[in-house]
Structures are given as C-alpha cells and as structure tokens.
Amino acid sequence: MSSGALLDVKALEVAYGASEVVSGIDLQLQAGEVATLLGRNGMGKSTVIRAVLGLTPARRGTIRLRGERIDRLRTDQIARQGVALVPEGRQIFPNLSVRENLSAFARAHSSRGWTLQRVYHFFPSLARDAGRMGNQLSGGEQQMLAIGRALMTNPDLLILDEATEGLAPLIREEVWRCLAALKATGLSILVVDKYVERLLPLADHHHIIERGRVVWRGKSGDLAADQSLWHRYLGV
C-alpha cells in the first residue's frame, strides 16, 4: 500500500501497566477501503481500536490520519478529525429518544453530508421510531441507532468494534447490508467481528492478530483460499 493511507499505524505498542497487549502492529487503510481486525477474544483487537481513538495511550509507535499524527491528541480531538466509533455493546443513551441520540452527535460543515434526514432515509426504522427512547429499542434497532449516531459526526473513518455481537442472524445480515451500502458511498471502514465468511465479500483486506501481533495480512481471496488460517487463529 502507498504511504498516502487514510489511516497509517506503525510499530504500535500498547501496555496496561507492565503487561504489553499490543506489540509492534502495523496497519494501513486507504480512503474508501474496508479492512478488518480478526482474531480470538483477548488478542488485542479492541486495544488497537482504543489506541487509534486515543482512549488508551500508545507506549511506542505512531498513528497517522491523512498523514498527520493523531496519537498525541485527545479522543475528542481525534473525533473532530473525522474518526467515529460504533462501540461494542452499542452504548446508546437509554433515556434519550432516537432523534435526540442522533442530534446529540451532529457535526455540520462536512462534505459527507450526513444529516438527520439522510440517516432516516438510510435507516427507515429509525425514522419510524424517532420518538422512542433508546431503552425501548431491540438490540438490532439499537445497533442501527449506534451506526446512525456515528454517521451524524460525518466521519471519514468509521470503526465498528464487534459489529454484530449478540444480534440475531437476520439482524446481522441487515448490518452487513448496511456496511456494504456505506462502502459504496466511499466511506472508509475498519471492522472487528468474528463472522469471517460475511466479511470476505465486504472487506478489501484483513489483519489477523494473535497475542498482540499481526500474524497474517492479505486480501479476501487469499483468506478464503486458506481456511487453515481460520482454524489456527480464529477458532472457526
């Protein structure tokens, strides 16, 4: 990949106290691409995401967005640079309505043009449920709200941590369709999820993490052709 990556992570190391969790990870994502972080639970995927978002400081290495270092910025500053997260567990505001959850994250003056009405058009169920409280929604509806809320920040990079965790199969399929549609708009997406077979047609390339290191990287065709990787590193 070229050095003009939208997201460029180099030699990233992250530790919690004396325990090193991420050890020298390199990761690049070009504008308009979808990439994945794959691996069993506890291998460092979410820690990489937390470092990109400034939630957990990097001990060594650099993180650049559009060529500019963001590893020294606060989380709110990184968000204003155009990085949005759909967190594991969704974490919507339960006592705010759907409309209020979305409006609270609105960021104007962006070329991406995500407005309340565009999110409603993209997710018709959110338009129908605009007045309902977050805690009145099903898990699938909350996930769509969490994605819509992230889009309201008009990001250049959308990160999803455990995108379909705990969702019913039909709702998972709806999430995959949503991500494919977002990719078609040119949005760059980084996904953590365990359903490898559904990520293959969506993602441009993949990173498998084992004990805080990238042990394999490649395109979907290569990952599909070598299912020994699935058994060795993903527990599939």
CATH of the domain at 171: 3.40.50.300
- Global pTM? 0.92
Output the pLDDT for position 91.
Answer: 86
Instruction: Give pLDDT, residue 107.
Output: 81
Q: Which domain holds residue 80?
A: 33-43+75-208+216-234
Report if residue 64 sits inside a domain.
no
Q: Give the chain's residues under pLDDT 50.
A: 1-2
Tell whether 129 is covered by a domain. Answer: yes
pLDDT of residue 65: 96
Long-range pairs for 175-183 at CB < 8 Å and ≥24 separation?
175/143, 175/144, 175/147, 176/202, 178/122, 178/123, 178/144, 178/147, 179/34, 181/122, 182/151, 182/158, 183/32, 183/34
* pLDDT score of 139: 86
Inside any domain, residue 228: yes
Whether residue 18 lies inside any domain: the answer is: no
Residue 218: predicted pLDDT:
96
Residue 3, pLDDT score: 54
Distance from the Cα of residue 210 to its chain's centroid: 19
3-state class of 22 per DSSP?
Answer: strand
The confidence score (pLDDT) of residue 136 equals 92
Predicted pLDDT at 156? 94
In a domain, 116, yes or no: yes
What is the C-alpha to C-alpha distance for residues 41 and 222, in angstroms, rounded to an integer? 23
Domain count within the chain: 1
Asked whether residue 7 is domain-assigned, the answer is: no
- Residue 52 falls within a domain, yes or no? no
Q: How far apart are the first and last CA of the chain?
A: 29
Closest to 126 measured CA to CA, from 162, 115, 47: 115
Q: What is the model's pLDDT at position 166?
A: 85
